[in-house]
Amino acid sequence: MLKRMWLVGLTALLVFSLLLVVGCGEAEDVVDDPDVDLPDVDDTDDIVITVAAGAVGMELELTRDLAEMYSEANEGVTVTVLDTPDMADDRLGLYLQFFEAQSSEVDVYQIDVIWPGDLAEHFVDLYEYGAADVADAHFPAIIENNTVDGRLVGIPWFTDAGLLYYRTDLLEKYDLDPPTTWDDLEEAAQIIQDGERAEGNPDFWGFVWQGRAYEGLTCDALEWIASNDGGTIISPDGVITINNPNAIEIVEQAAGWVGTISPEGVTTMAEEESRAVWHAGNAAFMRNWPYAYATSLADDSAVAGLFDVSPLPAGRSGSGAATLGGWQLGVSRYSNHPEIAADVALFMASHEGQKYRAVEGTFNPTIMDLYDDPDVLEAAPFFGSLYDVFINAVARPSTVTAPQYAAVSELFYRAVHDVLTGQKSAADAFEELELDLQDITGFPVE
């Protein structure tokens, strides 16, 4: 697993360096395709459909499995998978290069739940390619999220919500209950961390999460803020709400975790870095998405059989909040084979495709009746016990701010990161953020 993570890291680094090189190159009249290594399929006369997909946890291998299943069942078509950077921001950067070049190299893109509004123009309307027959089976809110001006720009593939992972063995050892508030979590994390270090593990930490300056921090911080009655940065009807005492209070509290119950380095961690600490058995609690459940059960996991998941802790609001994440499959307008590409996307996101990924990799289906499927519930019991968390997840303000969501989110996570790294107080950071958000959105302040 470690070896694989290194590989994933190296690949991401390589792609990222290539992006930098491409990004710094001379401006040219003709935009070239991004300089990435596309899967090698020279030895076939088949129509080749390329799917740009993620590689977090078990994602890549499961997408490859589905590609193979489709290719085997459909003579004359070979589906290949392009491995893209783990971090949403980097992946978006790569996609934008393909779009700018109007490249036909990639036919199907795995797109984040926050992107339909920003990227709609680059995708075909899947309603014109058979999606109308299956749309009703998916969570209506996600179909609505993916519908821009009446066009379905992505078929929902899997949904995500932030969860609290905790060590059942250590809670028992220190006679603690799973925490239901951030204050409880702080206290339990400190007790366990002190105890484990005293017993000789200097690498042990109370709580790991995603504190790097990237989209994942927007997700974590939105959870803190929403759970503390601090709103959702910008309300669904377009009012900037971020500069409020409850939001300021909880982000200051989170800044207090850095270097105490969480490593200083948490401010450079994305999902996979925080998971590595957890996976090695060196954390009492972790905030992460459902994919980390399957990976925590793997043979090389130090925590297999020693953990469970719960809703994230609550602040002032009295209940925890989970950010709504998840990914869709969109078919590029620049594909040479949109019909076949759409068929591939609809297969991967079908009942069969989603069930496979749910059972093998604990990726949450978007097809509602899979939450009643005994095989799915056996592999991922929390899909049933935490069902409410998934359907009540809090959306980022991507629809209301489209096509500027990425810029809004970057301003937000940079402001939060400045607080976590001690460069600014939350009060100052959010006062400035409020002005910056007014500038780019033109929205009023609460």
Q: How far is the CB of 427 from ligand GLC (least distance, A)?
A: 26
Site string for ligand GLC, 47-86 (x = CB under 6 A): ----------------------------------------
Q: Which residue type, as a one-letter code, is found at position 267? A: T
| Interface segment toward ligand GLC; rule CB under 6 A; list 77-85, 111-119, 228-236, 244-252 | 111-119
- Collapsed DSSP state (helix, strand, coil) of residue 199: coil
Cβ of residue 216: shortest distance to ligand GLC, in angstroms? 3
CA dist 45 and 210 (Å) reads 44
Q: How far is the CB of 217 from ligand GLC (least distance, A)?
A: 8
Exposure string (b/e) for 301-318, b if CB count within 10 Å is 16 or more? bebeeebbbbbbbbbeee
How far apart are CB 154 and ligand GLC at their closest, in Å?
A: 12
C-alpha 142/C-alpha 104 separation (Å) is 27
CB of 112 to ligand GLC, least distance (A): 5
Residues 63 and 52: their CA atoms lie apart, in Å, by: 10
Task: Select the span of 21-29, 107-115, 295-303, 373-381 touching ligand GLC (CB under 6 A).
Answer: 107-115
Say whether residue 219 binds ligand GLC (CB under 6 A): yes
For the CB of residue 129, give the shortest distance to ligand GLC in the complex, in Å: 24
CA neighbor of 264 nearest in space, from 187, 200, 211, 196: 211
- Give 3-state DSSP helix, strand, coil % of the chain, rounded to 5: 50, 15, 35
Among 85, 179, 211, 216, binds ligand GLC (CB under 6 A): 216
Q: Least distance to ligand GLC from the beta carbon of 218, Å?
A: 7
**Which one of 113, 119, 124, 292 is in contact with ligand GLC (CB under 6 A)?**
113
| Piece of the chain touching ligand GLC by CB under 6 A; list 215-223, 251-259, 276-284, 351-359 | 215-223
Q: How far is the CB of 289 from ligand GLC (least distance, A)?
A: 5
Strand partners, 47: 77
Encoded tokens for 302: 């130090």
Nearer to ligand GLC, 34 or 326 (CB): 326
112 in contact with ligand GLC (CB under 6 A): yes
What's the Rg (C-alpha) of the chain?
A: 22
CB nearer to ligand GLC: pick between 114 and 416? 114
Interaction pattern, residues 294-333, with ligand GLC; x per rule: CB under 6 A:
-------------------------------xxx------
Q: Do residues 251 and 221 touch, judged by C-beta distance below 8 A?
A: yes
Q: Is 223 in the site for ligand GLC (CB under 6 A)?
A: no
Q: Binding of ligand GLC at residue 160 (CB under 6 A)?
A: yes
Report DSSP letters for 251-317, one per residue.
Answer: HHHHHTTBTTTB-GGGGG--HHHHHHHHHTT-EEEEEE-THHHHHHTSTT-TTTTSEEEEPPPB-TT
User: Which residue has its beta carbon closest to ligand GLC?
Assistant: 325
The string of DSSP letters for 31-66 reads PPPP-------TT--SEEEEEEE--STTHHHHHHHH
Tokens 């085997």, residue? 72
Listed residue (91, 107, 99) closest to 55, CA to CA: 91
Task: Give the range of 108-116, 179-187, 353-361, 413-421 binding ligand GLC by CB under 6 A.
Answer: 108-116
Near ligand GLC by CB under 6 A, which window of 66-74, 200-208, 211-219, 378-386?
211-219
Cα–Cα distance measured from residue 225 to residue 242, given in angstroms and rounded to the nearest whole number? 9
**Count of residues that bind ligand GLC according to CB under 6 A:** 13
- Residue 293 buriedness (CB in 10 A; 0-12 / 13-18 / 19+): buried
To the nearest 10°, the Cα dihedral for 109, 223, 397, 19?
-40
Nearest distance from residue 326's CB to ligand GLC, in Å? 5
* Span of 43-51, 213-221, 250-258, 308-316 interacting with ligand GLC by CB under 6 A: 213-221
Q: Which of 215, 223, 373, 418 binds ligand GLC (CB under 6 A)?
A: 215
Location of structure tokens 């993916």: 146
Binding characters for ligand GLC, 260-299, by CB under 6 A (x = yes): -----------x-----------------x----------
88 touches ligand GLC by CB under 6 A: yes
Residues that bind ligand GLC (CB under 6 A): 88, 112-114, 160, 215-216, 219, 271, 289, 325-327
